[in-house]
Amino acid sequence: MSDVNLEKSEERPDLGSTNGAAAPTETAAGLTFADVAQQGHTAAELDPNAKSVLSVQDLKMYFPVKSSGVLRRTVGHVQAVDGISFQVPKGGSLGLVGESGCGKSTTGRLITRLYTPTGGSMKFGDAEDDIAKMSNRQLKPLRRNVQMIFQDPYTSLNPRHTVGAIVGAPLAVHNVVPKNKILPRVQELLEIVGLNPEHYNRYPNEFSGGQRQRIGIARALTLNPKLLVADEPVSALDVSIQAQVINLLQDIQREFDVAFLFIAHDLAVVRHFCPEVAVMYLGKIVEIADRETIYGHAHHPYTQALLSAVPDVKQAAIGGRRERIRLEGDVPSPINPPSGCRFRTRCSLAQEICAKVEPPLLQIGPRHKVACHFPGELGQHPSTPVTTGLLGVDREGSPVSGETATTVSTDPAFADEWFDVKTQKTVSA
Residue-by-residue DSSP string for 361-377 = -EEEETTEEE--SS--S
Beta-bridge partners for 88? 54
CA terminus-to-terminus distance, the chain: 60
- Report whether pLDDT(392) > 70: yes
Q: Which superfamily, per CATH, for 3-64+76-281?
A: P-loop containing nucleotide triphosphate hydrolases (3.40.50.300)
> What pLDDT, on the 0 to 100 scale, is given for residue 2?
38
34 DSSP β-pair partners: none
Question: What's the predicted TM-score (pTM) here?
Answer: 0.86
Q: Where are the alpha helices (DSSP H) in 28-146?
A: 33-38, 104-111, 136-143
The pLDDT mean for the chain works out to: 86
Please, what's the largest Cα pairwise distance for the chain?
79
Q: Where are the domains of the chain?
A: 3-64+76-281, 303-428
Question: What does the pLDDT look like over 105-159, one tens digit per residue?
Answer: 999 999 999 999 999 999 998 888 899 999 988 898 888 999 999 988 888 899 9
Q: What separation in angstroms does the CA of 65 have from each of 31, 62, 79, 80, 336?
A: 45, 9, 10, 12, 12
Residues 263-320: pLDDT tens digits?
998 888 899 899 999 999 999 999 999 999 999 999 999 999 999 887 765 554 555 5
What would you report as the CA-atom Rg of the chain, rounded to the nearest whole angstrom?
23
Confidence at 22, pLDDT banded by 50, 70, 90: very low
